[in-house]
Structure 1
Amino acid sequence: MKAIVVGGGIGGLAAAVSLRRVGWEVVVHERAAVFGEIGAGVGVMPNALRALEWMGVADEARRLGTPRVSGGIRSSDGRWLVRLPEVGQEKVIAMHRADLHGVLLRALPPEILFNNVEVTSVEELDADLVVAADGINSRLRAELLPGAPGPVYAGTTAWRGVAPGPRDLEITQTFGPGGEAGVLPLGDGRVCWFVAAVAPPSASLDPAELFADWHDPLPDLVSSTPEVIRHDIYELPPLPTFVSGRVALLGDAAHAMTPYLGQGACMALEDAVTLAACDGDLARYDAVRRPRAQEVWRGSRMAGRFGIGVRSPVALALRNFALRAMPTSVAVRVMTRFSAWEVPAMPR
């Protein structure tokens, strides 16, 4: 059986690795001139790590990533709202997106990887299975599901970067009025960070000014980063199906979500392993993946309303009080709810 994967990002490469593991002949078509990944940090959550284990590449991910043992949520003035020293962060790996992409790329033979291939229609592809992993603006999704909703602006814009930073930082998420930030230390002297703010699309904003009075080391990280990546955040409203004929949608092409649970890349890894476990049964893939992915999509949206969406002083005070009063055990359950995923059983 032959599969063609359209898109050479994390999701597309994971699909290729996973399908080859169950005996499929696979080729990957990527429209860019080289295979690569831009962005900053990614937290490989326990669910994503289980997917990497199934693919056989988790050991290399652990070698390149940095396990963290503590973290939590802070307010913009630096006060801790939630401390999670025992959350089991040894199962969470902090990585640069490019490093995770490289782990998957090296698991594939070069002869199945094709660059500079622009796929505009499924009709161009001769394969038993086509994996549409071509991103939030997927051309294949638009062709196959013309009546389905397209991407919509989620109301926020974000900046990301990698900068030198202290080696003793913890994984932190910070909430402020109409803003959110995150720090993901890589352990090698680099720190991945992001900041986001409620704003109109394409607004002319300076993150160094917006976050100048937030707690250390956020202002220094933003101002010292030589190359800051800025993008408006879009999401894909829930689709009626993830499959059409011989085509399976995967990753952002199927369920692009806001980043407030840190599950975007993790969901693509789950998709890839589930697709392989279904071994060509696309009805089963849709039945297994769509409810799970759309539940996480809704959870991420709710997390945004509770986090970056809180703007008034009264609402901020109430939200922060609720977080400080939350028992650690409850906070751990909330944070691990969406990472409690297991690889589905293979069919007989």
Structure 2
Amino acid sequence: MTRPDGRQVRMVRLTRAQQQERTRAAVLVAARAEFAERGFADAKVDRIAERAELTRGAVYSNFTGKRALYLAVLAAAAEQDRAIAEPPAKSPADAEQALSAFARIWLERLPFIGDTPSQGHLQLRSLSGVVAGEPAREALAELARFEAQLLALALEPHAPLRTGAVRRAALALTLLHGTASLAENAPGVHDPFDIARAAGHLAATPLTDDADPPHLPYVAPAAATSADWEAPGGLVDEVTGRPVDLDEDAMVVVLGVRRLSAVGDALRDAPQGEAVTCVVVTGDPAETGRLARLRIVDLVACLLRVFPPEQLPRLRIVLDDAGTVPAAIGLDAPDDLTEAAVRCRDGLIVARAEGRGAGHAVAVHRTRDDDGRRH
């Protein structure tokens, strides 16, 4: 193309995917500004479209509604924190020091006294007034249990999950979320360093061992199979950021967001040293999927600043909104209540189970090893 002055102008043609990505980015920037100024309740999609210099239809072509937009804004902030997280110079001396350090980092989100309520809610990644309806509340409760399991795996990497480690982690997270809830309405009311020290002391709180879920004795055994399968590529572990190769010998647990805490069944009973991958699926990627991404990535961003890579939770986590892994193992229409598990070995699925307790069933299933002996 030639300008009137005779100079050549290079035309840049954007692919459809590139244009959509630009549109999404512009919408997220505009949405963050709208939520920071007016809060979730008073924000309007029309104003977000106006801020982004887009049509209302362009916004809805990328996001299903205001709630999905808000969750996407918070998830993007969590992903940015994870991207810039740097590992500590040295490992925490013990669980108390680690939990105190985790709490200090987590509490960096507390709003300052001069922040407006709307700014404070974004800073806190608050879900007040956002999560509505029983399914969404159940999903949030399961995510909270799952977060406690991840924190426990980092704090006490060599302790089985039956030792009360998860309950201690849950207590610490409850303290932090309670502090955040109060800070929404009364910023500056607590000294975060006092809260961090108190959280650290919870690491030594004596608790009775966790009991196994009562339904486990009634779980049907896993089925032995020898089915070929083609592991999907492009999967990433949300904890380490490394590619996940499901072709290797491993156990894969596919869980809907409202069944996430069932991963503990697999972790408690899996053979020592066996890799366990938790694939998180949902029937509602726009909202429930983004809620799961927000909470999991947010926690991981904090863990990365406390623990060196070798001390991060041994569980691999794949967020699979598209359902590629369920499709590969022959699982139709995964949703928020999905619970299935397989064990992979030498390019075959050698055991599988579906339904309540599937992870436990596959974890305790025994197959013949290369020497033909039972183990």
Q: TM-score under structure 1 normalisation?
A: 0.25
More helix by share: 2
Which of 1 and 2 has greater Rg?
A: 2
Q: TM-score under structure 2 normalisation?
A: 0.23
